[in-house]
Amino acid sequence: MSAAAFAGACVVLAGVPAGAARPDLSLVDYLPIATTLIAAAFATVLWSRWRERRTGPHLLWWAFGVLVYGAGTVTEASTTLFGWHEGLFRAWYITGALMGGAPLAQGTAYLLLQRRTANRLAAALLLTIATASVFALLAPVDYALVTPYHLTGRVFAWPWVRAFSPFINTYALVLLVGGAALSAWRFRRKTATRDRMVGNVLIAIGALLPGIGGTATRFGHTEVLYVTELIGLILIYVGYRYNISGKGPVAASGGSSKA
């Protein structure tokens, strides 16, 4: 079998529309592979720390959030390697475009807010995600808008399905970015908590970047998302390391010693 025939067979098996040729992919298209590996390692770190400390649900939510983050980049990496497939697309939309950083933000809610308030927010978040996911699974796809090796929600034949994600992502932005920024502001005053200030600044920036990439994706620029996802996750991980290594008094913030 010739190389061209083999490539054509892979395209068919991957579910790419007939007649679509694999484009020349850039290095950016392969970034989700690296992001997935980092997410797996980071989730393991968070899970291990929860098992060690057993303090509250925030670490579990953060570990779950990083796993979801990695699940989204797995679908992106798979699309780069094997081509567009409807199952991969729907999985990507739910784990990446829809859920995004919401589980991470919910972990921050449990760290910053009273347990009862965090529980209510978690219930509302899960109900919203479940409802949006059902519609994302049921919505028909306009195959004329499918790009063989890239992902975008624009292919939904029901455009209103995409209206859920801004609300969920705004929730994530307010809690995750806002919580980290508030913590950085609180820790700025003392030299002893300087590491936690730096850590929370990095987390705030890292959490903001995928949101910027997600906005670009809504306009068809998925490659921007791939870059911001990788850089954002690295910054969040480095910020987390700063927080748990910092010395100083305990504070009810994203950089507290409970992290």
Q: Which two tokens stand for residue 149?
A: 């090796």
Question: For the ranges 71-80, 116-125, 225-234, 246-255, which has the lowest average pLDDT?
Answer: 246-255
229 and 207 Cβ atoms separated by less than 8 Å: no
| In contact, 168 and 125? CB cutoff 8 Å | yes
Helix (H, G, I), strand (E, B) or coil at 126: helix
Cα 188 to chain centroid distance, Å, stands at: 28
Dump pLDDT digits (tens) for 121-165.
999 999 999 999 999 999 999 999 998 888 888 999 999 999 998
The number of angstroms, rounded, from the C-alpha of 58 to the middle of its chain's C-alpha atoms is 17
Q: Pick from 229, 236, 172: which is nearest to 204 by CA?
A: 236
How many angstroms separate the CA atoms of 247 and 218, rounded? 42
Please give the average per-residue pLDDT across 223-252, as a whole number: 79
Distance CA 248, CA 71 (A): 35
Contact 93, 153 (CB under 8 A): yes
Average pLDDT, integer, range 29-55: 91
Model confidence pLDDT, tens digit, residues 87-109 = 999 999 999 888 988 999 999 99
**Confidence band of 24 (pLDDT split at 50, 70, 90):** low
In a 10 Å sphere around its CB, with 0-12 CB exposed, 13-18 middle and 19+ buried, how is residue 148 labelled? middle
Which residues share a beta bridge with 156? 141
Q: Say whether 234 sits in a helix, a strand or coil.
A: helix
Q: Look at the pTM and tell me if it is higher than 0.85.
A: no
- Domains for the chain: give ranges and CATH numbers: 27-245 (1.20.1070)
Among residues 107, 40, 106, 68, the alpha carbon closest in space to that of 243 is found at 107
